[in-house]
Amino acid sequence: MPQGSNTENQVITLAPMLECWYRDQPFSQPALHPLPHALIMHMLYHVTNIYLFRPYYRSHLDINPSPSHRCDQAASMTVELLRVGPGQESVLLLIHRSMKPNTVSEIHLPHSASLLFPLFRLP
């Protein structure tokens, strides 16, 4: 186990567990199956990665890929998932139709990716 704080060790331990969980999920290609619940699950996975690795974005954490790469990739994937939908419909419209308006997920997911991705790109 790498030397570091207990929190860093927990993040390093949790990362492969989270990746394994994600690989075992159905609908591994959400663009092919744009079901609202599957899209939300994929977005929640990516936002969880952002929140897990964001504290280490500009610092050294002994994990590969780096925390900055993981955050950038998760933000990009979340934005891509927001563009998925049958025809010209976005996932936000699909989510809105399938859930009560203004649910936490409907607001939280796009908000997280849209605010975090530009912040990660700052020098």
State the pTM of this model. 0.70
Phi, psi (degrees; rounded to nearest 5) at 51? -70, -30
* pLDDT given at position 106: 47
The stretch 25-50 carries a mean pLDDT of 83
Average pLDDT over all residues of the chain:
75
User: Residues 74-97: pLDDT tens digits?
Assistant: 988 888 887 776 554 555 555 555
Nearest Cα to 42, choosing from 31, 51, 52?
Answer: 31
* pLDDT given at position 113: 53
Please enumerate in sequence order all residues whose Cβ is within 8 A of that of 45, keeping only pairs 6 or more positions apart, or say none: 18, 22, 25
What letter represents residue 93's amino acid? L
* pLDDT given at position 70: 92
User: Residues 11-28: pLDDT tens digits?
Assistant: 999 999 999 999 998 888
List the chain domain ranges: 6-25+34-120
* pLDDT given at position 53: 93
Confidence of residue 32 (pLDDT cuts 50, 70, 90): confident
Contact 67, 56 (CB under 8 A): yes
Residue 8 has pLDDT above 60, yes or no: yes
